[in-house]
Structure 1
Amino acid sequence: MARDADRPYLTIALLLLLGFMIVEVVVGILAQSLALISDAGHMLTDVGAIALALVAMRLASRPARGSYTFGLKRVEILSAQANGVTLLLLSVWFVAEAVRRLIHPPSVHGLLVTVVAVAGIGVNLLAVWAMSKANRESLNIQGSYQHVLTDLYAFIATAVAGVLVWWTGWNRFDSLAALVVAALMLRAGIGLVRDAGRVFLEAAPRGLEPDAIAQAMHALPAVTRVDDLHVWEVTSGMPALSAHVFVELDVDCHDVRRELEAMLRDRFAISHTTIQTDHAAGGEATVMPCSLDSHGTSHCG
């Protein structure tokens, strides 16, 4: 499977970020740099995001059985939601700490901050390259990729702050860089929570408008009415649809159903469909259900 092939790329990124995160925490404490520590906090969410992505991919690949009729595919969405909430909580903490340090700035070792931040840019470039090779159709993998990409921008901001502190001696540049990092984390966290929330609330996937789908279904000549149309996402890249479709009395409703399934698959990339087709008689006032006999012949009424 494509997502199985993504595991080596995610593992490489995980090991790179985990190793550098430990270095950054130690140096951040020694240099009294909130920007470095906030970068490490963001990197922790990156490590967590990738680790959860790997675990979720393994769980989601298990076949459906028992009461879990879709398997554990939504574990990936749970992972994305957890990463988003963590980003939001960390961003609030870093904002509060940055404001405190703007009022009472500690002494910051600008040169040390700059050296570590530049090294962090290199490590994150390698991690971004590794994760760019993965298939980011999954919200889980895409969320992890966005974490790492945001961390790259954060290291750039930290490097600039380190140079300015080293050059001017004004330690508040470090706290200002931490605010930039917090803003990036807040933006990424809101995006992940929003997108994961759409899946949990069973909203139609982005790019799939239920009204447009209903019009396309109703455009088939034999279709007279489309009721109870639902379009949702089981997990990233797995849209699903259910509907109750009424067809003209003199057509084979099973042929219409197969035609609808083909149209939905080819035009909207929806292959998981549940469509109930019924004949409508007397101006659609009476429903005449379809059935197949043992010879495969369609009957109604």
Structure 2
Amino acid sequence: MANTIETYHVPVLLKESVDGLNVHPEGIYVDVTFGGGGHSREILSRTDATCHLFSFDQDEDAERNILDKYGPGKFTFVRSNFRYLANWMRYYGIDGIDGLIADLGVSSHHLDDEDRGFSFRFNSPLDMRMNKRAGKTAADILNEYDEEKLADILYMYGELRNSRRIAAAIAKARGKSRIATTQDLLDAVSSVMNREREKKELAKLFQALRIEVNHEMDALREMLASATELLKPGGRLSVITYHSLEDRIVKNVMKTGNPEGKAKKDFYGRTECPFTLVNNKVITPSEDEQAQNPRSRSAKLRIAEKIGSKLTS
């Protein structure tokens, strides 16, 4: 499916998330989920020639949206998983950043691509890799993981209460023939889906597989740890989440400094955390945005500031 830069991915909470960065014209910023470049363009529109933005995306499709017009002095595209943020910043000689933005989850481009297997709307090969150059596909996982491990993944990443029944149905189906396409998977699990909640359960099933294929939770933890170290005092972390698993990790890091949410106390019993919350209550899209962009309906924006002296322009 062909996409223009404008239709590749519609950015969610665009103004709110970039406002949250408190952009100053000469800063160094990172967009770890470049996609169609919407958030990156908005950041660059608020800066001057001395600013530099590093934008990450591991998907080769996103590379077509590179912001060439800004030139090498202002913008650098990094085709890599954001879990390697610290390595790439070291490579470019960057030891501190003024802000980082992340729009997590699957992009509208991936959901609309009929050839990648991210959506059950299309009959396509079960790939689901963000980086098509490496790693197991969703089909590999469905056919190679033992039934117990498959059930655990569906429960942990899809929060499916009937994960064991679904895993058993998949194991039975693959015993007859390899599950290779989205339709193969739908046929395999149709008998164990709750008819009243079928679309929601299928969405959770596909979410669980996508998370496992791309190691999303591990990558998120590593990226947030690197961001915590790289952010300068007063630097901002602006993160949009779409499901409870990733939101819990982001919330814990912002409130306690670690993904597990285990608060560390100093000698006087005060909680030690590298961040202070900018918004105590999550920011959600307006009704108008939700109507125009259905993907935004589950979005939550959290913003935190690195503790220390404030940045100045």
Name the TM-score, length of structure 1 as normaliser. Answer: 0.24
Name the TM-score, length of structure 2 as normaliser. Answer: 0.23
Name the structure with the higher helix share.
Answer: 1
Larger radius of gyration: 1
